Structure 1
Amino acid sequence: MDRFAGFIVKHRKTVVVIFILASIVCMLLSNLVGVNYDIMDYLPDGAPSTVALDTMSQEYDQAIPNMRVMVKTDSVSEALDYKARLARVEGVEAVEWLDDAADIYAPIETIDQSVTDDWYKDGTALYSVTVKDEKETEAVNAVREIIGEDNAMTGSAVVNALAPVITSKEISTIMLFVIPLILAILFLTTSSWFEPLLFMFSIGVAILINRGTNLMFGEISFVTNAAGAVLQLAVSMDYSIFLLHRFSEFRSEGHDVSAAMVLAVKKSTASILSSGLTTVTGFAALILMQFKIGPDMGWVMAKAILFSLIAVLVLLPAAAICTYKLIDKTRHRPFIPGFERFSRFALKLRAPFLILFCLLVVPSFLASQNNQFIYGASKIYSSAATQMGRDMTAIEETYGKSSPLVLMVPKGDIAREKQMNDAILQAENVTSVVSYVNTVSDVIPPEFAPEGEISKLYSEHYSRFVVNMDIVETDPGAFEKVDAVRGIAADYYGDGALIAGDLPNAEDLRNTIVHDNMLVNGVAVGFVLLILIFNFKSLSLPFILTLVIEGSIWLNLAVPYFRGEELNYIAYLITSSVQLGATIDYGILFTDRFLENRRLLPKKEALRVTIQSTTVSIMTSASIMTIAGSLLGRISTNAVLSQLGFLIGRGALISMTLVIFVLPAILSVCDGVIEKTTWKARFYKKNDKFERKAAYEH
C-alpha cells in the first residue's frame, strides 16, 4: 500500500490529467447511451404477457391501441375531420372512433346510448389510436399540433414520447439544487472552503465516467438514468470526507504533505473499501432479480460505487497534493460546535429509545410487508404537475378509465370464437370486445371478408380479440377481474390462449417482483453480514448492526402503510437494497470507534466519546443523502422516481437516528457478549493501566 500511495503522490499531475481526460470522453459517450421508459420491456422473457407480446409482434403488423385522444367538438362531421387528420399522421397505424362501432349516418339519437357514450359525449370525441413504437415521438408531437393544448391525449405512446424530455429537464434541475446544498453542508462540517470543492470534483469525475461507461450496456432504464447520478453522489461522498480528514490528522501530527497523504491512503483504505463493499453488495443483490430493472440498476450502480472508490483512493489524493496550499489558505474556524453536551444528552436517552425501538420494530416490519403496492405503469405520470397527468385526468373524468387487453387464440373455429366472445362480454367490467365474430360476422367465412378487417384480427395462426375494461390496476380486485377473462379463454382454448395488456403485464410484474423481493433482501443481508464478520472479526456485532439498519428500513417502509398511501413496488424494492448498503456505513463507523474507545475506557464513557466523535461524520453523510433524496422526490414528476427519492431521504434520517440513539443502547446491553464473541476485543477493565487521554485525543 505504501508503494501504491507513493506512486500516486509522485505522479499526481499525470493522474489528475488522465482522470480529467477520461471524464471528458465519458461525458461525450453518455449522450450515446439509450434510455428505456417502458417498464414492461423489463419483464422476464418467460412471463406470460411477454410471450403474448412477442407472439403478437410476430403474427400481426398492427399493434394494440396505445393512445387515447380527446378533442372538443360540436358535431359529428368535425369529429370525423379530426379522425381523418389523425389518421394521416406519420407513424399512426389506426384510429378508431364511433363510426367503427355504429352507423353514424343514421340519426345519432337512434344509436345505442351506451355505444355513443364510449366515443362521443359532453361536447367531446374520444379516439383510440395505434402508434408504431419507433415513431412515437414524431407522432405524438404531430398529434399535439393537430389537437392543440386545450385538448387531451394519454397512453403509453405519449409517455414514451414525452418522458425523456421531462426527465432530462428534471435531472438538470435536481442537480442544480443538490450541488449547492451539498456544498453548503460540507462548508459547515469541514474546516476549509476549498476541501468541499475537492470532494465534489472527485465524485463528479466518478459520476461522469460511470455515465459514459454505461454505453457498454447499450441502453439503461429510466429509473437508473434518472436516479443514478443523485444516488452515486449521495452515497459516495463520505468516502472522500474520510480520506481528507485522515490527511489533515497526519499533517497536524507534523508529517510533511507527501508523507501525510501516503499515511492517509494507507490507514483509510481498509475502512473505505469496507464501507464501499457493503454499498456495492446492496446494489449487486439487485442483479439477481428476474425483473430486469433490478440487474439494470444493480450493474450500473455497483459500477458507480467502484468508480467512486477508485476516484477517492487515486484521484482525490493526487488532486489534494496538487492543491494543498489552497486548502491551507482557505482554512476557517469550525462552524459546528463540539458534540460533548449532545453526547451526554444522547446517552441519557438510550434506554427510552431502545424501548421505543423494541415496541415499533415488529409492527413496522408487518406494516412494511402489507403496503398497498402498485406494480405497473398506470400511475407513473399521473401528477397534475405535468400535461400528461392533467390530460389523463381530463379523459378519465369524461370517459372513465380504460385498460385494453389483447387476447389471442388459435384460429379456425368461428363457432367457438363466438361462444368465447359472448362469454367475455358478460364478464365484470368488460365494456366491449373487438373481434372478427362481432366486427365482421360470425357467419361470413374469413376468405369473403374485407382484407383490411382480416389483417387486424386474423393472422396466420391466431384470432385476436381486443377486450376493453373500465378498470385500472389500482382499482380493488383488478387482477382478479383480469384473471376471470383469462379463465374464460382457458375454458375454451386451454394453454393455447395468450393475453397481454397493461393489467396482465402488471400482474406478471407483481408475480415476478414478489419472488424477487425475498431473494434480493436475503442475499443483500447475507453478504453484508459476511462483510461485517470479516471486518469486525466478531460473531455478535454484524447481527447487531444489521438489526439496527434493517429496523430503520422497516420503519421507513411502514410510513406509507400508516399514511394509507399507495407505494410503487419498484421504489420499495430498490429502497430496501440502497438503504441497507448505504446507511450500514454509519453503523460501521460508530462501531469501529466504539471498539477503539472501549479498549481504553469504561463502557459508558466509551459510548459517550464515540457519539461525540462520530456524530458530525454521520450527520454529514445522512444530510447529504436526505437532501439528494428529498429533492429527487420533490422535483421528479415520475411517480417511481419521486417515491424512491422520498424513501431514500427519509431512510437516511431514520438510520442516522437509530445509529446515534439506539445502537449505543444495544452495544451497552450486549457489552459482555460483544467482548466474548469478538476476536482480541480486550475491553477496558478497572484494574487496567491504560491512559484515557489517548481516547479523547483520537
Structure 2
Amino acid sequence: MQAAEYNIVKSRFEWSDTVKNSDENIMEKVALFIVDKRKAFYLLFAIAFVFCAICIPKVQVENDISAYLPESTETKQGLDLMDREFVTHDTFSLMISNIPYNQAEKMTDKIEEVGGVKEVEFDDSEDHYKNSSAIYTVTLDSGLDNEREIEIENEVKNKFAEYDCYTYSASIDNSSDSLAADMRQIIMYVAIIIVLMLLFTSKSFMDVAVFLIVFIVAAVLNMGTNYLLGTISFISNSVAIVLQLALAIDYAIILSHRFAEEKQTKNSHDAIVAALSKAIIEISSSSLTTVAGLAALMTMQLGIGKDLGLVLCKGIICSLITVFLLMPGLLYMFSNAIDKTVHKNYVPDISFWGKIVMKTRSFVPIIFALVIVSSIFLSSMCQYAFDQDSVSSPRLSDSKKAENKIKENFDVGGQLAVIVPKGSYDKEKKILQDVEEYDGISTALGLANVEVDDDYCLTDKVTPRQFADLMSLDIATSRVLFQAYGASVSQYTPIFQDVDSYTVSIMDILMFVHEQMDYGVIDLGEEKNSDINEVYDKVSDARDQLEGEEYSRLVFTYKGKNESEEVIALHDKVREEAKRYYDDPILVSNAISALDLKSSFSGDNQKINLFTIISVLLILLATFKSSSVPVLLVLTIQGSIWINFSFPYLMNEKLYFLGYLVVSSIQMGATIDYAIVFTNRYLELKPEIGKKAAAIEAINGAFPTILTSGLIMMIAGFLIGFISTNPVISALGKCLGRGTLISIILVMTLLPQIMVLFDKLVEKGAFTLKKKEKKERTGIVYVDGRVKGYINGYVNGTIHGMVKGDVKAIVENMSGPEDEQKQ
C-alpha cells in the first residue's frame, strides 16, 4: 500500500529543523508574553475593574429617544430652541378616586404645601372632576433636577396614601428605577442560565468558575467605560450587558477547549501558550462578523444607533481583551483544579437529527423557500410604531398602570408647541383664537391670551385710565407712569400731546413700573407696590415660559393618539394656520417627533442592511476563499430575518422601529457565526467522508457550540421581552429571542441541506483547489490534525503532538473543498 493513497485533511506537519510560519511565530511570541506576564495583567485588570466599578453609578443615561434625532429634524431644532429661549416647568397629574367634590377642592392646599410645587390647577369642570374622581395638574418650580422632581411627585402621592390615588407625568422621567429593577431581574435569570448551560456543555466544573470571572470582569469594564462616553441611551444601558454576555460567550469557550486539547500532549504552561496562539486568530475571525453587524448600527442617521453600536462594539472588545489577556493566566493558575473537577460530557449525540435532515433534503428546502418568499412579502407589510405609546409590553410599570387608570377617567392629551418669531401679539392672538376652535384641541396658551382679569390679557394695550382702573391707581399717577414709559422708549406723544390717547400693552407697562420700583425711582405705597409685585410675578412667569429673546411659544393641548390619522391631520391644520402669519413656524410634539423618526427610518433601514450584508460577505469571502459559500450563508440568515419580521404582521401587532433596525443587524452579525461553525466543519470533513456523511457529522459537531451561545442569546432575548416593563426594551428582546431561535432552526436544518444540494456550486465557487505535497521525514515531527497514512506504522485518527519516527504521507494544503468523487 502506497502512502500516496492517503489524504491528510487540514494537517500541519512541522520539522524540528524547519523554520515555522512567521504568523505562527508572532502569535506564539505574543501568547508567551501574555502568559509569562500574567501577574502584571492581574494587577492591570484589578485596577481597571475597581475604576470601572466606581464609574458605573456615574454613567449618565438619556431616556428620551427624541434627544438622538438628527440636527436637521424639526423636533430637534424646536427642542434646542425651547431649551435656549424658554423656561419650562415640568408638571404631573394626580388623580384621587372615590372622593366628593367638596373634599377634593380642599386637597389643593395640601398639595401646594409640598416644597417645590409652584401651583395646582383644579376646578369643577369635567376636565378636573368626573365620575367621583378628581385630577389635579401640579406644576413644579423650574430648575429642579429630575431626581428632585420624582421625590416631589412621591411626596405628594404619599400625602394621600389613604386614598385611591395615582400620579402620571409626560415630562418627569421616572422610568430609571423600574428599568434598573427589570434589568437586575433579567441579569439574575441570564446568569443562572449561563451557569446551567456551561455546566451542561463544559468538561470541568472549574471551567465554569473561570468563565464567570471572565464574564464579570468584561461586563464591568464595558459598563464602567460608558462613563467616558458622557451620556448613553437607556437602551444601551439596559441591554448591553446581556447582549455582551450572549454574544461573546463563544470566545471563552474556544480558548478553554483549545487549552484542554493542548494539555493532552503538553504541560500546562506550554499548553496555554499553544492554545492562546491559535485562539487569538480564531476568536478574532469569529468576532469580525459580530462587530460588523453592530458597527452597521453606527451608520444610522438617528443618533441612538451610533450610541448602541458603540456601546455593544466596545462590549465585544472588552470581552476579547479579557479573554486574551486575563483568561490565559486564570486557566494556567487553576489548571490543576480544572483537571480535578472534570465531569461527564452531558451534550447528547444528535447524529439522528443529521440523518433526518439528509433524508428530507428533497422537499424541506422547497418548503423553506416558500416560507421565506412569503415572509419577504409579509415582513414588508409590517406596521412600524414610532411613538412609545403605540406599543406595549407584557408587564406594565407602576407608572404605566397609573397612566392607564387616569386615562380611563380623563382625556389626558398631548402638548403641541408652536414656535414663531416674537414681536406681533396680534398675530399670536389670532392663531390662538382660531386653533382653539379646532376639534381635538383642548386648550390654547400664549402671552396673547394670558388673562390679567376677566377683561384684559397681558398683551392687550390700555390707556392710562384703563390701567388706573385695572391696578386701582389714581388717574394722575397712571398718566405720569405712561409719560415716563414713553420717554424711556423714545416715544414723546404722551409728553407733548394727549397722554390719555397713548396706549401701551399691560405687560410692557407693568415690567417698566416694576423695574422703576426696583431702582427706587417710583414708590406707589406699600399696598400698591404689593399689588404691582403680585401681578409682575404672574407676568414674569408667563413671559419666561412663552417669550424668549427672539421667539414666542404657543402651547396647545390636543386629544388622541400621537400616530393616529386624526392627530396627524390636526397638526397639519395647525401648521397651515401658523403659516398664514409666519413663513417657518416650528412645531414640537410627540406626534411630530414620531414623524421625524419615521422619515429617518427608511434611510437608516437601507444603510444598515446594505452595510451589514456587504461587510459580512467580505469577511466570509476572506474566511472561506469562496464566492458561493458566503452567499449561501448570508441568504440563510437573511431568510431567518425575513421570517422573524413577518410575525408582527401575522400577530396583528405594531413593531417598534428600533426593534427592526437593531435586531436585524445583530441577527445577521451574530447568528451568522452559527452558520460558520457548521460550514467550517462540513468543508473539513467532506473531502474525507463525503458530503452527506460530512453534513451529518458537522451538525453533530456544531451542536454544542450552537446550543451554548444560541440558547443563551435566545433565552436572554425572551427574558428581556417578557420581563421588561419598558415597551421599547421589551420589543427589542422579543425580536432578538425569536430571531435567534429561527436562525438556529435554519442553520441546523436548511443550511446542511442546501450545502449538499448545491455542492457543485460550492466547489466551483472556490478560489483555489487543494494542493498536494509529498512529505517524507524521519526524526522529530510535530503533527496537528487529521492524519491518515504511515507514521512508523499505520495510523488513522486525530493527532495533536510530536511523533518520533518515520513519516511518509501526502499533505494537503486545503484551500477549498475537493470533489467528493475523488475520495
TM over 0.5: yes
CA contact (8 A) 2:435 2:577 kept: yes
Q: What is the aligned partner in structure 2 of residue 121 from structure 1?
A: 130
CA contact (8 A) 1:39 1:377 kept: no
Q: What is the aligned partner in structure 1 of residue 758 from structure 2?
A: 670
Q: What amino acid does structure 2 have at the position aligned with 1:444?
A: D
Q: What is the aligned partner in structure 1 of residue 524 from structure 2?
A: none
CA contact (8 A) 1:598 1:683 kept: no
Q: How does 1:129-140 map to 2 (within 5 A)?
A: 129-131=138-140, 132=142, 134=145, 135-140=148-153
1:143 aligns with 2:152: no
Q: How does 1:159-174 map to 2 (within 5 A)?
A: 160=173, 162-174=174-186
Q: What is the aligned partner in structure 1 of residue 460 from structure 2?
A: 444
**Change over 3 Å in CA distance of 1:383–1:349 after alignment to 2:** closer
1:505 aligns with 2:573: no
Count of aligned pairs between the two proteins? 673
CA contact (8 A) 2:787 2:797 kept: no
Secondary structure, counterpart of 2:136 in structure 1: strand
Task: Please point out which of 274, 299, 305 is paired with 1:294.
Answer: 305
- Displacement of 1:88: 4.8
Q: What is the aligned partner in structure 2 of residue 490 from structure 1?
A: 579
**Change over 3 Å in CA distance of 1:505–1:561 after alignment to 2:** same
Matched residues in 2 for 1:694 and 1:48: separation? 71
Task: Please point out which of 563, 568, 573 is paired with 1:479.
Answer: 568
**Change over 3 Å in CA distance of 1:90–1:510 after alignment to 2:** farther
CA RMSD after TM alignment = 2.7
**Change over 3 Å in CA distance of 1:57–1:508 after alignment to 2:** same
Q: How does 1:212-291 map to 2 (within 5 A)?
A: 212-252=224-264, 254-291=265-302
Matched residues in 1 for 2:159 and 2:63: separation? 25
Farther-moved stretch of structure 1 (552-561 vs 432-441): 432-441
- Displacement of 1:432: 2.7
What whole-Å deviation, never above 9, does each CA across 1:532-559 have from its counterpart, x for those lacking one?
A: 1111122122221111111111211211
Q: How does 1:678-693 map to 2 (within 5 A)?
A: 678-682=766-770
Q: How does 1:305-384 map to 2 (within 5 A)?
A: 305-378=316-389
Task: Please point out which of 182, 186, 194 is paired with 2:194.
Answer: 182
Matched residues in 1 for 2:112 and 2:797: separation? 78
Unaligned runs of 5+ in 2: 1-26, 462-503, 508-534, 773-785, 790-794, 801-823
What whole-Å deviation, never above 9, does each CA across 1:411-441 have from its counterpart, x for those lacking one?
A: 3434433443343234442233223444435
| More helix by percentage | 1
Unaligned runs of 5+ in 1: 99-107, 109-115
Matched residues in 2 for 1:448 and 1:545: separation? 74
Secondary structure, counterpart of 2:767 in structure 1: coil
Matched residues in 1 for 2:292 and 2:393: separation? 34
Q: What is the aligned partner in structure 2 of residue 113 from structure 1?
A: none
1:71 aligns with 2:96: yes
- Displacement of 1:694: 6.5
Matched residues in 2 for 1:683 and 1:151: separation? 79
Q: What is the aligned partner in structure 2 of residue 396 from structure 1?
A: 407
Q: What amino acid does structure 2 have at the position aligned with 1:44?
A: P
Q: What is the aligned partner in structure 2 of residue 457 from structure 1?
A: 546
Q: What is the aligned partner in structure 2 of residue 102 from structure 1?
A: none
Q: How does 1:611-650 map to 2 (within 5 A)?
A: 611-650=699-738
Q: What is the aligned partner in structure 2 of residue 651 from structure 1?
A: 739
Q: What amino acid does structure 2 have at the position aligned with 1:124?
A: S
Q: What is the aligned partner in structure 1 of residue 210 from structure 2?
A: 198
**Change over 3 Å in CA distance of 1:605–1:53 after alignment to 2:** same
CA contact (8 A) 2:563 2:591 kept: no
CA contact (8 A) 2:205 2:343 kept: yes
TM-score by length of 2: 0.77
Matched residues in 2 for 1:272 and 1:476: separation? 51
What whole-Å deviation, never above 9, does each CA across 1:225-260 have from its counterpart, x for those lacking one?
A: 1101100001110111122112222323x2222222
Instruction: From the CA coordinates, give the structure whose radius of gyration is larger.
Output: 2
Task: Please point out which of 412, 417, 421 is paired with 1:410.
Answer: 421
CA contact (8 A) 1:599 1:683 kept: no
Quote the sequence identity (%). Answer: 33
Matched residues in 2 for 1:82 and 1:522: separation? 59
- Displacement of 1:42: 1.7
Q: What is the aligned partner in structure 1 of residue 641 from structure 2?
A: 553
Secondary structure, counterpart of 2:347 in structure 1: coil
Task: Please point out which of 642, 646, 659 is paired with 1:571.
Answer: 659
- Displacement of 1:371: 2.2
Matched residues in 1 for 2:109 and 2:75: separation? 33
| More strand by percentage | 2
Task: Please point out which of 71, 78, 83 is paired with 2:108.
Answer: 83
**Change over 3 Å in CA distance of 1:683–1:145 after alignment to 2:** farther
Q: What is the aligned partner in structure 2 of residue 152 from structure 1?
A: 166
Matched residues in 1 for 2:210 and 2:575: separation? 59
Matched residues in 2 for 1:508 and 1:282: separation? 25
Matched residues in 1 for 2:193 and 2:211: separation? 14
Matched residues in 1 for 2:45 and 2:338: separation? 21
Matched residues in 1 for 2:553 and 2:105: separation? 26
- Displacement of 1:512: 2.3
Farther-moved stretch of structure 1 (260-269 vs 236-245): 260-269
Q: What is the aligned partner in structure 1 of residue 6 from structure 2?
A: none
Secondary structure, counterpart of 2:505 in structure 1: helix
- Displacement of 1:299: 0.9
Matched residues in 1 for 2:154 and 2:98: separation? 21
Secondary structure, counterpart of 1:599 in structure 2: helix
**Change over 3 Å in CA distance of 1:25–1:436 after alignment to 2:** closer
Matched residues in 2 for 1:351 and 1:96: separation? 72
CA contact (8 A) 1:182 1:624 kept: yes
Q: What is the aligned partner in structure 1 of residue 804 from structure 2?
A: none
Matched residues in 1 for 2:69 and 2:403: separation? 25
Q: What amino acid does structure 2 have at the position aligned with 1:120?
A: Y
Task: Please point out which of 677, 691, 709 is paired with 1:589.
Answer: 677
Matched residues in 1 for 2:91 and 2:394: separation? 20
Q: What is the aligned partner in structure 2 of residue 112 from structure 1?
A: none
CA contact (8 A) 1:73 1:79 kept: no
Matched residues in 2 for 1:403 and 1:357: separation? 46
Task: Please point out which of 218, 222, 242 is paired with 1:210.
Answer: 222
TM-score by length of 1: 0.90
1:605 aligns with 2:693: yes
1:27 aligns with 2:38: no
Farther-moved stretch of structure 1 (510-519 vs 607-616): 510-519
Matched residues in 2 for 1:432 and 1:556: separation? 44
- Displacement of 1:309: 1.1
CA contact (8 A) 1:287 1:294 kept: yes
**Change over 3 Å in CA distance of 1:74–1:661 after alignment to 2:** closer
Matched residues in 1 for 2:446 and 2:279: separation? 68
Matched residues in 2 for 1:84 and 1:177: separation? 47
CA contact (8 A) 1:401 1:472 kept: no
Secondary structure, counterpart of 1:336 in structure 2: coil
- Displacement of 1:574: 1.1
Matched residues in 1 for 2:171 and 2:428: separation? 30
Matched residues in 1 for 2:374 and 2:573: separation? 35
Q: What amino acid does structure 2 have at the position aligned with 1:176?
A: M
CA contact (8 A) 1:224 1:300 kept: yes
CA contact (8 A) 2:393 2:730 kept: no
1:51 aligns with 2:73: no
Secondary structure, counterpart of 2:346 in structure 1: coil
Matched residues in 2 for 1:659 and 1:626: separation? 14
**Change over 3 Å in CA distance of 1:356–1:586 after alignment to 2:** same
